[in-house]
Amino acid sequence: MKAKKALKRLNKIEALLSDVIDQFPGSTAGLGELLDSAKAAIVRAKTTVNSQFSPKKKQPGRSETGKQGRLTAAGRTRISLAAKKRWAVAKRKGMNAVTGRPLSKPA
């Protein structure tokens, strides 16, 4: 469960326990003490969740290289060779390499 959701639920439980404690008579055979200890446990759980999962803002990351996203000379060469191979295959099949339509026959 995410920390924010857990905190919301713990707050809701604490509010409900507070309402029950306020409405319940305190002199009934130790039940008040149990409710107080339950509320204390909820408060401890909230502080634990807060301390472990405090929201930390990330700093915007910088790329390691300034040339990110650009083609290298070797990459450009590989693309060129692959295109030439596709064009050769299309020419052998009698197709236009770009449009995929059959080449027109000379009359």
What pLDDT, in 10s, does the model give residues 5-18?
A: 888 999 999 999 88
Asked, for residue 28, whether it belongs to a domain, the answer is yes
Distance between CA 17 and CA 33 in Å, rounded?
12
Whole-model pTM: value is: 0.46
Residue 22 lies in a domain: yes
In a domain, 61, yes or no: no
Report the chain's mean pLDDT, rounded to a whole number.
Answer: 83
Integer Cα distance of 74 and 6 in angstroms: 52
Could you tell me if 8 and 47 lie in one domain?
Answer: yes
- Is the pLDDT at 44 greater than 80? The verdict is yes
- Does the structure show a pLDDT above 90 at 84? yes
Of 44, 37, 46, the residue nearest 10 (C-alpha): 46
Residue 25 pLDDT greater than 80, yes or no: no
Q: Is residue 57 part of a domain?
A: no
Contact in structure between 3 and 52 (CB atoms under 8 Å): yes
Using 50, 70 and 90 to split pLDDT, how confident is the model at 104? confident
> Does residue 70 fall inside a structural domain?
no
State whether 7 and 46 are in the same domain: yes
Spell out the residues 6+ positions from residue 10 whose beta carbon is closer than 8 angstroms to its own.
42, 45, 46, 49
Residue 82 belongs to some domain of the structure: yes
Domain check: are 47 and 81 in the same one? no
Residue 62 counted as domain residue = no
Into how many domains does the chain fold? Answer: 2
Domain around 13: 3-52
